[in-house]
Amino acid sequence: MSEYLPKEVRAGLELARKAHLRKTSRLKVKVGDQTFAILRYWDDGFAVDPEEASSLRGLVDVYEGARHLSQCLIVASSEESGEMVYEFKRATPAMDHAPEDYELDPRAPVALIGQG
């Protein structure tokens, strides 16, 4: 059906689709002090608007709102249907605590009560 629409109408529909995705997506990619909206996200990568972020590469942080999801090493994959697609070379989930390098005893006390 889209092949019957004039170019201007198709371009307007594409702009409206991107604006809707930008507004509804809580996912953001942060590079240094710049932040860009993620239009689509999947296990191996994500897509952004090429007019906003056309040449991302290297180490980036992915956020959902204010929550840090992961730190990723990315490479540009392709530009398809008005989106710049990036793939993860490495995606490390963000943790809110330091990793434990020893095994915790499941029977250990959670807290100690002082003598008083």
Domains of the chain, each with CATH number or no CATH: 2-93 (2.40.10.430)
pTM summary value: 0.66
- Can you list the residues of the chain whose pLDDT is less than 70? 1-3, 20-25, 116
pLDDT value of position 72: 93
Burial of 102: CB neighbours in 10 Å, binned 0-12, 13-18, 19+: exposed
What torsion, rounded to 10 degrees, do the Cα atoms 22, 69, 84, 49 define?
A: 20
Position of tokens 């604006």? 19
pLDDT at residue 24, rounded to an integer: 63
In angstroms, the CA 88 to CA 77 distance is 10
Give me the pLDDT at residue 45, please. Answer: 92
Cα distance between residue 106 and residue 27, in whole Å: 36
Q: What is the pLDDT of residue 88?
A: 93
Token pair 């990619």 is at which residue? 29
